[in-house]
Amino acid sequence: MGSNSSRISDLPKNEYLKKLSGTESVSENDPFWNQLLSFSFPAPTSSTELKLLEEATVSVCRSLVENNPRTGNLGALIKVFLSRTKELKLSAECQNHIFIWQTHNALFIICCLLKVFICEMSEEELQLHFTYEEKSPGSYSSDSEDLLEELLCSLMQLITDIPLLDITYEISVEAISTVVVFLSCQLFHKEVLRQSVSQKYLMQGRCLPYTSKLVKTLLYNFIRQEKPPPTGAHVFSQQSDGGGLLYGLASGVATGLWTVFTLGSVGSKAATTPELSSPLANQSLLLLLVLANLTDAPDAPNPYRQAIMSFKNTQDNSPFPSSTPHAFQINFNSLYTALCEQQTSDQATLLLYTLLHQNSNIRTYMLARTDMENLVLPILEILYHVEERNSHHVYMALIILLILTEDDGFNRSIHEVILKNITWYSERVLTEISLGSLLILVVIRTIQYNMTRTRDKYLHTNCLAALANMSAQFRSLHQYAAQRIISLFSLLSKKHNKVLEQATQSLRGSLSSNDVPLPDYAQDLNVIEEVIRMMLEIINSCLTNSLHHNPNLVYALLYKRDLFEQFRTHPSFQDIMQNIDLVITFFSSRLLQAGAELSVERVLEIIKQGVVALPKDRLKKFPELKFKYVEEEQPEEFFIPYVWSLVYNSAIGLYWNPQDIQLFTMDSD
């Protein structure tokens, strides 16, 4: 291929790659490895670049798959890497750039090879490739040493123990990516894997003691959001006299592997999105989510989920229960801040959901915060821009709100937080509004969007459940929030009348034609009546528990009182309508006594005076509205495909051919 090749298409002809994948065995002590690993290669930064790289090297990988049983070169490469990792920490402390650079290159090649191996063979076949040695054709090692387990343990040590410096940043990212690749066999199966080989290694044996340390490290990587070293801080520039030593080594020894060759414009500034500004944080979060959603082993629960469920605040001095495995402590304030700042990405929202749902320590801490608006506002913004978000992201945001609204303290406190100038809310200028009223507005808007677009009953149910949980604690509702509550009821009322009319016409039509299948209007009517019932219960709960705090809601009720007339005698709503009818009748009477042509201010004044005079014992008591989020019976059927779709779309430095993916449906290439 020549020493100055700069084209990706030349990679399959590269002499070092051909030797690695060829029919000749290479001893782990051969000088060849220093030559192979002394390349200077700017890491691919986009799926396009990664696709080009994969297409160019796939023939090399397949050649190695074919020849490795006879040569054992994969095992030799891994042993070279393992021998280097033992000195990696010392090399970082001594700023040994060349050693770290070559070790990173070894891991980069291993990761590229593994990705192809895992895609093209079963896990059992992959295990065999780790056992082949330089012996007679087809033979393999019978030693007790398990190279695959040793590699995984080494990666966990590298992630948790190597100090994060400019010169170790890339190898830390590569180590995390390689663990993700090890678990990526799930991508190539339609069914959720419950006993994969890679899971077994990570959840027991020599890797198990690293559980809590790994989870803690990944969380701190997410918290710190460390950006990669600047382009100018490449290993070359760290050397003496302009870095001639390393550049000379790269160009002289690694003749034309990836020395001159680049993918795109390396020095140019790529447009970065907030969630990708830190590759280390991004990869760490994805790996953490993958580990947290591994299925339990038949004889043991997922240790990574156990660690996520039990970690505590660094300020919590109480002892861990003896029954709590893999426990550790982390700074909750730093974690809270990072979660608030990173909610633009699916994966950060999924992490927030996971922690709120599974870790009671985190949930208690967050609900006690006096700055909950920093967390709630980004979640509301996700829901507000529902048209731009995927359905999973919207569900996660909504479930987070549902979990938060299970707490009465939260429901009270959000009405005490006053916000000014919410710029992203465009339907109306909100110069001043409580966080509680804004939450109501956004949830109602989500319901209305769902009614006209997606028509998802699950989304409806969770939105209404969050409103119901809050309803008894509604305080000083903004006039616009009160209007939107009644407007939503108006919309539901119109929809109810329309479906009822369609059902009546359909029934008449069925008398004249028995051959035409009829739409199931009865089911539609049942669903809409369930939603109307829920809305009436929400309004009733507010009137019963906090009437004196909400004159704006009473005003909106009176303004649209005709809406409720048709439901007074409806058998499905008679009981719940009693209190609403009483309030409307009582205040309507007082307004009539006050005369005609009353100003808005005068009406509100009459309402506030009337609240004191209304006999509370006349309001019928109903059971408190309380809805608790309950996870599905088999949550892994939802979460595992979701997590891996995030990995597929968000992982930096990893590319899989869409045609190979089996776990979820690809919308496009």
Rg value, the chain, Cα: 31
Q: Which residues of the chain have pLDDT under 50?
A: 1-6, 136-144, 232, 234-275, 668-669
Phi, psi (5° rounding) for residue 131? -100, -15
Closest among 313, 307, 134 to 211, alpha carbons compared: 307
Instruction: Please name every residue paired with 140 in a beta bridge, in sequence order, or none if there are none.
Output: 132
Model pLDDT, residue 6:
43
Kindly give, in sequence order, each residue whose CB lies less than 8 Å from that of residue 205, ignoring residues fewer than 6 positions away: 149
In 3D, which of 161, 9, 145 has the Cα closest to residue 93?
Answer: 161
Task: Fill in the DSSP letter of residue 659.
Answer: G
Structure-block tokens of residue 81:
């890497």
Distance of alpha carbon 184 from alpha carbon 119, whole angstroms? 8
Distance CA 357, CA 312 (A): 15
pLDDT for residue 272: 35
β-bridge mates for residue 668, sequence order: none
Angle at CA of residue 283, ends 310 and 145, nearest 5°: 80
Which spans in 37-85 are helix H?
A: 47-71, 73-85
Q: What gap in Å lies between CA 338 and CA 333, rounded to an integer?
A: 9
Structure token digits, residue 188: 């190539």
For residues 139-172, one letter each, b for 16 or more C-beta atoms within 10 angstroms of the residue's C-beta and e for the rest, the string is: ebeeeeebbbbbbbbbbbbbbbebeeeebbbbbb
Name the nearest CA neighbour of 643 among 288, 305, 324: 288
Answer yes or no: are the C-beta atoms of 113 and 65 closer than 8 Å: no
CA triple 12-15-17, angle to 5 deg: 55
Average pLDDT, the chain: 85
Give the span between the Cα atoms of 208 and 221, in whole angstroms: 20
Task: Provide the pLDDT for residue 519.
Answer: 62
Question: What pLDDT, on a 0 to 100 scale, did the predictor assign at position 524?
Answer: 79
Look at the chain and count its residues. 669
pLDDT attached to residue 58: 85
What is the secondary structure of 210-244 as a DSSP string?
A: GHHHHHHHHHHHHHH-PPPPPGGG-GGGGSGGGGH
Contact 580, 541 (CB under 8 A): no
The answer for residues whose C-beta is within 8 angstroms of residue 271's C-beta and 6 or more apart is: none
Q: What integer pLDDT is reported at residue 500 of this predicted model?
A: 85
Residue tagged 């990072």 (tokens): 338
Q: Rounded to an integer, what distance in angstroms lies between the CA atom of residue 545 and that of residue 306? A: 40
Amino acid 277: pLDDT = 84
